[in-house]
Amino acid sequence: MQIKKQSRTVLAAALASVGVLGGGAEVRAASSAVLPFNGGPDAYRKGAFGPLMDWPLIPIHVVLQPDGRVLSFGTDLNGTHQPELAYDVWEPALGTGSTAHLTLDSKTPAATNVFCAGQALVPITGQTLVAAGTVNMSAVTKGIPSADTNLFDYRSNQMVKEPPMALKRWYPSLVSLAGGGLIVMGGKMDTADTTIYGEIPEVYEAGKGWRVLSTAASVEAYGARNWYYPRAWQAPNGKVFIQTNFGAAYDLDPTGTGTVTKLPKSGLADLASTLPSAMFAPGKILFLQEKQASAMLDINGAVPVASASGKLSQMRYHGNATLLADGQVVVTGGSSVPNSLSGAAYAVETWNPATGLWTLGAVAAKARLYHSTALLLPDATVLVGGGGAPGPLTNLNAEIYYPPYLFATDGSGELARRPLVLGGPSTMVWNHGYPLRMANFKAARGVKRVTLVRAGADTHNWNNEQRFFDLAFHWNGTDEKLRVFTPANAHIAPPGYYLLFVFNPFGVPSVGRVVKIGP
């Protein structure tokens, strides 16, 4: 159960390469799983997958931690959904073997079955909030939804029980708020009774517990018509924006006891809970649709505005959409027949926000169907794992996708030299400039781009926590210091944990530096 001390030199090197973060909190520098690796001649155009690696459980839920590790859970150690919770913390700096995993088969203290719960980092504390799940799960009882709340703390590796929510929920969404809280909405309240769903949202605040939004009940927004992981985001106007699968959209004001308002139609259609989405720029969301289509929704104005985007090569039901360090969106896995190997998509497909076009890339080893996940890691690679329980595969495994930006453009397949961030602040506030200390910066001809990607939390092809920003920056052209400017406010960049990437003139990103934005 202990992380072994193997690869200490690798860890030390990784920590040294990115610099140990300052500040009072015990936040370690972002770690890196990138090993000596040749991606082949096409890697600079298509990216490449690393070798398949074993995973101690099916990672149905994955959450990037403030220290760069990955929390995953969803099944027991055999890949089945037992009444008891197991969870795993992976340390990428220790590589991809079993010694890089801290796996806890936790029958105590948090005896909730968190299969198909909601999960997200608490913006202020960095703990992982796990909302609901079931009280039991067996072939006989099926799932009985639970109101339990559990908190995982990366500092102690412990999951502890918190006061419960007012409503039982199974398959709810958790969304980070500008004020530092998290809102939970939707979910199923009773397995047998198909008339009651989590139509009343609740807000969690660290140290305060839950507040019921009793005047914001909605059957359409997050009740019976849209209870399954409702698609919702903190919006630029200060409200929470909800896009239902049947086309209607809502604004929810989470202050007091809450107010929900129906918005004018954007025309966005052909959505499905089995298809992913991603906020690729402030107030702009990419949706995958039926008929291999995709669309963009702009929620920056008074009314949401939809526009068509490129066509995918095939349907990718249950595939995951992940924002890369350069703002492109990579879709991994999925299938043309939901949760079936028939028409399984092995190649990644990447969307370029500048052109709206999709491009096929590297080919994965495994089909990733229902209950698969994907997560951007601090080293700018993507962890792609899981699938099963139920499904045709029991994927107690994962693989890492290395995007094209990591490779030399000469076709050698070698990893490119990366810019090195030596130091900088670990906490930042909005609309402010901060210095970053770079290595050999002048010799490397400086910087092309600085980006910020919010730490992800993914389950059921739904990673609403991820967000992307191009940051303004200033380099005087002579020294080893770079000045970067944070996003304008908490409405577009909710408080919480982000990865900061510096790109060199060749488009190669640094290892992402974990920064906390907020109080």
Report the nearest approach of Cu ion to the CB of residue 460 (Å): 6
Report the C-alpha gap between 418 and 338 in whole angstroms. Answer: 39
Identity of the residue, 188 or 467, whose beta carbon is nearer to Cu ion in the bound complex: 188
Q: List C-alpha distances in Å: 415 to 41, 52, 409, 424, 445.
A: 11, 19, 9, 25, 19
Identity of the residue, 114 or 296, whose beta carbon is nearer to Cu ion in the bound complex: 114
Report the C-alpha gap between 427 and 344 in whole angstroms. Answer: 42
Stretch 180-219: interaction string toward Cu ion, x if CB under 5 A: ----------------------------------------
* Token reading at 360: 């096929």
Report the nearest approach of Cu ion to the CB of residue 170 (Å): 9
Identity of the residue, 116 or 362, whose beta carbon is nearer to Cu ion in the bound complex: 116
Report the nearest approach of Cu ion to the CB of residue 302 (Å): 36
* Token reading at 491: 């409405």
- The contacts found for 188-193 with CB under 8 angstroms, 24 or more apart, are 188/145, 188/227, 188/228, 189/145, 190/145, 191/142, 191/143, 191/144, 191/145
Identity of the residue, 116 or 124, whose beta carbon is nearer to Cu ion in the bound complex: 116
How many other C-beta atoms lie within 10 A of the C-beta of residue 346?
A: 16
Report the C-alpha gap between 29 and 15 in whole angstroms. Answer: 6
CA dihedral 238, 239, 245, 248 (to 10 degrees): -110
CA dihedral 448, 515, 69, 121 (to 10 degrees): -120
Stretch 95-124: interaction string toward Cu ion, x if CB under 5 A: ---------------------x--------
Report the nearest approach of Cu ion to the CB of residue 371 (Å): 6
Would you count residue 58 as binding Cu ion (CB under 5 A)? Answer: no
Identity of the residue, 462 or 501, whose beta carbon is nearer to Cu ion in the bound complex: 462
Report the C-alpha gap between 297 and 271 in whole angstroms. Answer: 12
Identity of the residue, 75 or 309, whose beta carbon is nearer to Cu ion in the bound complex: 75
Identity of the residue, 148 or 326, whose beta carbon is nearer to Cu ion in the bound complex: 148
Report the nearest approach of Cu ion to the CB of residue 319 (Å): 15
- Cβ neighbours for 29, distance < 8 A, ≥ 6 positions apart: 14, 15, 18, 19, 20, 21, 68, 513, 514
Closest CA to 332 of 294, 387, 380: 387
Identity of the residue, 117 or 450, whose beta carbon is nearer to Cu ion in the bound complex: 117
Report the nearest approach of Cu ion to the CB of residue 58 (Å): 10
Identity of the residue, 68 or 172, whose beta carbon is nearer to Cu ion in the bound complex: 172
Preceding omega of 83 cis (within 30 degrees of 0): no
How many other C-beta atoms lie within 10 A of the C-beta of residue 472?
A: 12
Query: Within positions 6 to 35, which residues make up the interface with Cu ion, using CB under 5 A?
Result: none
Report the C-alpha gap between 324 and 330 in whole angstroms. Answer: 7
Report the nearest approach of Cu ion to the CB of residue 255 (Å): 32
- Binding residue count for Cu ion, defined by CB under 5 A: 1
SS (H, E, C) 262-279: ECCCCCCCCCCCCCCEEE
Report the nearest approach of Cu ion to the CB of residue 459 (Å): 7
Identity of the residue, 117 or 147, whose beta carbon is nearer to Cu ion in the bound complex: 117
Report the C-alpha gap between 171 and 133 in whole angstroms. Answer: 7
Report the C-alpha gap between 446 and 438 in whole angstroms. Answer: 9
**336 bridge partner residues:** none
Report the nearest approach of Cu ion to the CB of residue 116 (Å): 4
Q: Which residue has 């200390």 as its token pair?
A: 437
Identity of the residue, 76 or 379, whose beta carbon is nearer to Cu ion in the bound complex: 76
Query: Within positions 312 to 351, which residues make up the interface with Cu ion, using CB under 5 A?
Result: none
Report the nearest approach of Cu ion to the CB of residue 243 (Å): 20
Identity of the residue, 75 or 451, whose beta carbon is nearer to Cu ion in the bound complex: 75
Closest residue to Cu ion, Cβ-based? Answer: 116
Q: Which residue has 């006891």 as its token pair?
A: 257
Closest CA to 349 of 367, 332, 372, 366: 332
Binding site for Cu ion (CB under 5 A): 116
